[in-house]
Amino acid sequence: MNFNEIKAMDYKYQMNTYAKYDAALLSGNNAVITGEDGREYIDFSSGIGVVSIGFGNDEWAHAVGAQAKQLQHTSNLYYNQPSAMFSKELCEKSGFSKVFLCNSGAEANECAIKLARKYSFDKYGRGRDKIISLYNSFHGRTMAALTATGQEEFHQFFFPFNQGFDYMQANDADSLNDILNADDICAVIIELIQGEGGVCPLDTQYVKTLFNICKKRDILLIVDEVQTGAGRTGYLYLSEYYGIEPNILTSAKGLGNGLPIGACLCDEKLKDVFTPGTHGTTFGANPVVCAGARVVLSHIDESLLKDVREKGEYIRSKLYGIDEVKSVRGMGLMIGIELKTMTSKDAAQAAFKNGLLILTAKSLLRMLPPLTISYEEIDTGLSILKQSLK
Ligand SMILES: Cc1ncc(COP(=O)(O)O)c(C=O)c1O
């Protein structure tokens, strides 16, 4: 099939939820993608922060292929070794006590919301069920995660939204005591860097104050690390850098290197809140996904994390040499680029035409390349970007 045939078929049979670029992607090698027409692209997007250890990673592909051949699925009525091993490794590496495995970031956040509400119900009874999130946040597209998402533009069409949610302004430490004084709040959910909101980092002092108030009032702190986690910012989880220990941490995207995974991690006090039948999902803890995720996790060691921090610095310094770049923010390989005159959409479209895949986040360009991107791939990508921003 040629590109136009693929496009026409996609358009006819898939619901029209995405604004797609004019390319069908065929194969990949680390941070280089080849289209159906043989065109090569440097990939600064990694499928929106997903392909963490690169396209065509042999070790990952072998683990996934071997497990697919041996046993591709078990229901959660039985045990399987890859998911038991992965859970142990993820908990030990992250310092959390237990994990619930699911299939996406939104689903991990749904789990976090249910876990927080059940903890509060078990301990305090009905009426202490409110979840507070931040304006400008993004937590996913399912109804509860969408309700928690504090952006008006996502809150259209889909009324009525779920009860028991409220919003507060990010980085306003002075208002925290008053807001969190209400006795109906069971949890606060935050992203440490608001990714979809425009790569906006939270202030460290604000996050520490929030953490301390939550701890004092037994309000659970949920940190959504779906985008910032799994090594993306140069730390396994960014909570470590911020010096906080959330009660619940959600992870997804880069943990699977391309296979669907979500993880809701919890601390010691929450580890026995769920009991059989209170939560579940058919595909969660899938052995093929977990076999691949074990490889991902084994790659996220101190040396890779140091690399991510250094490559991030390198990219930032080079970006400031491009005339059209006004400012750069983010951490590690999660980078937002504010432009002087071009819109982010026009800039991303121009980059695409020149052979670079790059994301947008509101008015910013956003880079989430594979964590394994080479300096050569970075240089090629940046020179395409420079040429596109004229
Ligand atoms: C911070 C954050 N949370 C949740 C989600 C939703 O994840 P998913 O698309 O896997 O449901 C995203 C996706 O972009 C995200 O960035």
* For residues 295-299, average pLDDT: 98
Note the pLDDT of residue 356: 98
Share of the chain above pLDDT 70, in %: 100
Query: Amino acid identity of 365?
Result: L
Residues 336-378 pLDDT 10s: 999 999 999 999 999 999 999 999 999 999 999 999 999 999 9
* For residues 125-135, average pLDDT: 98
- As given in the structure block, the two tokens for residue 15 are 């619901």
Predicted confidence band at 326 (pLDDT cuts at 50, 70, 90)? Answer: very high
What spacing in Å lies between the alpha carbon of 96 and ligand 1's midpoint?
21
Residues 207-240 pLDDT 10s: 999 999 999 999 999 999 999 999 999 999 999 9
pTM (whole model) above 0.95: yes
Residues 181-206 pLDDT 10s: 999 999 999 999 999 999 999 999 99
**Nearest CA residue ID for atom 8, ligand 1:** 105
Note the pLDDT of residue 268: 98
Note the pLDDT of residue 340: 98
- As given in the structure block, the two tokens for residue 228 are 């910032």
Residue ranges and CATH numbers for the domains of the chain are 59-299 (3.40.640.10)
What spacing in Å lies between the alpha carbon of 322 and ligand 1's midpoint?
30
Predicted confidence band at 116 (pLDDT cuts at 50, 70, 90)? Answer: very high
Residues 247-288 pLDDT 10s: 999 999 999 999 999 999 999 999 999 999 999 999 999 999
Please report the atom of ligand 1 found closest to the CA of residue 191: 1
Note the pLDDT of residue 260: 98
CA-closest candidate to residue 352, choices 75, 44, 94: 44
What spacing in Å lies between the alpha carbon of 257 and ligand 1's midpoint?
15
Predicted confidence band at 72 (pLDDT cuts at 50, 70, 90)? Answer: very high
What spacing in Å lies between the alpha carbon of 2 and ligand 1's midpoint?
32
Mutate to test the pocket of ligand 1, among 227, 239, 249 (most ligand atoms within 8 A of CB): 227
CA-closest candidate to residue 230, choices 292, 305, 303, 291: 305
Q: Which residues line ligand 1 (CB under 6 A)?
A: 104-106, 109, 138-140, 191, 195-196, 224, 226-227, 252
**Nearest CA residue ID for atom 16, ligand 1:** 227
Note the pLDDT of residue 33: 98
- Listed as own residue / partner, the contacts of 144-150 with beta carbons closer than 8 Å and 24 or more positions apart are 144/109, 144/110, 144/113, 145/106, 145/109, 145/110, 145/113, 148/109, 148/113, 148/189
* For residues 48-64, average pLDDT: 98
Note the pLDDT of residue 281: 98
Predicted confidence band at 152 (pLDDT cuts at 50, 70, 90)? Answer: very high
Mutate to test the pocket of ligand 1, among 253, 257, 368 (most ligand atoms within 8 A of CB): 253
What spacing in Å lies between the alpha carbon of 40 and ligand 1's midpoint?
28
What spacing in Å lies between the alpha carbon of 270 and ligand 1's midpoint?
23
Please report the atom of ligand 1 found closest to the CA of residue 262: 10
Please report the atom of ligand 1 found closest to the CA of residue 145: 4
Work out the mean pLDDT of the chain and round it to a whole number: 98
What spacing in Å lies between the alpha carbon of 353 and ligand 1's midpoint?
27
